[in-house]
Every structure is written in C-alpha cells, then in structure tokens.
Amino acid sequence: MTEKTNQIDSEVISLAREVIKDPAEPGEVSPQHIDHTLLKPETTLSQIMHLCLEAVRYGFKIVSVNPVYVPLCADQLSRSSVKVGSVVGFPFGASTTRIKVNEAKEAIRQGAREIDMVIFIGGLKAGQHNVVLDDISKVADVVHAGDSLLKVAIETSLLTDDEKIQACKLAKEAGADFVKTSTGFSTGGAVVADVRQMREVIGPEMGLKAAGGIRTLAAAEKMITAGANRIGTSAGVKIIEEALCRRVKSAVKTRLDMDMDDQEAQAVIQRVLEIET
C-alpha cells in the first residue's frame, strides 16, 4: 500500500512540476505577468528581502520597490532572472523633469531595469501637452540609454475619458514602453473599462500595466482579457497560487483521474516550488 501511495504521490509531483513550468494559456495569468510590488512608506528591509525571496520562488517578472531599496534588491536578485523595478516622480508626478531624469538615472545606476514614472497630472489636465510630452520624452531617453524599460502611470481615477486618451497618446509618442493605469496611491485603481480603452488607443504592440486594487485571480484575469500584459500588485503570491492550484487540479483530474481539493493542490505546489528553488 505504501509503495502504491508513493508511486501516486510521485506521479502527482511530476505532473505538477510539468504544469508549473508550462506557459500559461492565452487569457491565463502567469508569474511573468506579475510586477511584485511593495511601495508602502513604512516598508522595512526585512520585508523587502522577503519580497525578493517570493519573487524568486514564484518566478515573477520583477519586484517594484521605492528607489532606496533598489541596491538591496539588485544584490538579492543578482543570481536570478527576476529584474528590479523602481518608481520616479512617485506618487504624484509633480516633480520637475530634471528631478525625474536624475531619479531614473540613479535607479538604473543602482540596478533597476524597469522604471515606472508618474505623468505630470496637473499639466495634462491643464492642457499643457507639450510640457507633458517633453517630461516623458526626457525620462524615456535616459531609461532607454540605460537598457531599461519605461512605464508611464497616468492615474486614471483623476482623469476624464478624453484625458486618459490624450495621456496614452502622449506616452506612446514620447517613446514609453508601457502605459500604466494607476499608482495605487490615489482615489482609485485599475478598472476594466479603462484598460480596454487604453489598449484601443495604444494598439497591440505597446505594453499595458494594470495596477491598483488587483488582489484576486479573477480581477487579474479580467485585466489580462481587457488588454493588460502586466499586473502590478502586492497580492502576487495569492493570485499565482490560486492560478497554479486551478491548473494543477485540472491536470491531475484529466491525466490521472484523481480529485484534489485546494488544500491538497497547494501542498503539492509548495513541494514543487521547494524542489525548484
């Protein structure tokens, strides 16, 4: 009986490893969609180190942290495929262009490879489109010179529909790599309708990051379906565990004709992740 149980257990683990390594299907959320984020002002060194450990364990695309923690993350993640991301003009977008440029330069010098800048919101709402364009363009120039990516947060909750459209057009014209819905520090976060509209404006090639209030797999999937190809969230572990749990349970049922509950599937996933990391 023990031998048979061990054989079944081995088959389940082997299948789970295969499922976890397989790319997600279109519309599914994968670890490579996740910007694992911790930007709260009260964040401590130990929390940042834990964030990095989680990012490696689950295979997230990047960690997104405040500039002061970029060197620590760059060191902690130096032997992994996880990149370091940081923020510029955060969270209000009201820094001068020179300050934003210098923030970006310093973050890249210290190891950041993705920069999330906040658009000059007041300038956008005042119709100062050339000023906004120049602001983004100058940051984009230094980011790209540092072989890094630029995302522009437009803070959708503060904008009219026309302003959202204009913000996306300006970010694209300025050479940004992504537009981003929100900072997560304003009056609202990512909304499906906004993501869909933003994708229509920027077209299929430019990146689109949904961020702010995305805490469940269902919410993340709606954003991906609407057109996002990156999710900024502090709940990445919960989201990906839920996604992996569903995929593992389905594979075990289909391939091994076995039923698993969520607790059993999570236990298998954790065993696989321990083996892999």
Looking at residues 174-193, what average pLDDT do you find?
Answer: 97
Residue 14, pLDDT above cutoff 50:
yes
Give the CATH number, domain containing residue 152.
3.20.20.70
- Which among 35, 116, 135, 177 is annotated as catalytic? 116
- Domain assignment present for residue 253? The answer is no
> pLDDT band at 1, cuts 50/70/90?
very low
- Which among 83, 172, 209, 222 is annotated as catalytic? 209
Residue 250 and residue 268 in contact, taking contact as beta carbons nearer than 8 Å: no
Integer Cα distance of 271 and 20 in angstroms? 12
- Domain assignment present for residue 126? The answer is yes
Report pLDDT for 134.
99
- Domain assignment present for residue 49? The answer is yes
Q: What is the pLDDT of residues 29-79, one digit of tens each?
A: 999 999 999 999 999 999 999 999 999 999 999 999 999 999 999 999 999
- Domain assignment present for residue 268? The answer is no
Confidence (pTM) = 0.94
209 is catalytic: yes
Report pLDDT for 26.
81
21 is catalytic: no
- Domain assignment present for residue 249? The answer is no
257 is catalytic: no
How is residue 82 annotated by DSSP?
P
- Which among 83, 151, 180, 249 is annotated as catalytic? 180
- Domain assignment present for residue 72? The answer is yes
Range of the domain at 110: 2-242
Average pLDDT over the chain reads 95
Residue 164 and residue 208 in contact, taking contact as beta carbons nearer than 8 Å: no
Q: Total domain count for the chain? A: 1
**b/e map 236-265, b = 16+ CB within 10 Å:** bbebbbbbbbebbbebbeeeeeeebeeebb
Report residue 105 as tokens: 């330069």
Residue 214 and residue 182 in contact, taking contact as beta carbons nearer than 8 Å: no
Q: What is the pLDDT of residues 223-254, one digit of tens each?
A: 999 999 999 999 999 999 999 999 999 999 99
- Domain assignment present for residue 19? The answer is yes
- Domain assignment present for residue 200? The answer is yes
- Within 10 angstroms of residue 46's Cβ, the number of other Cβ atoms is 8
- Within 10 angstroms of residue 29's Cβ, the number of other Cβ atoms is 24
Residue 156 and residue 182 in contact, taking contact as beta carbons nearer than 8 Å: yes
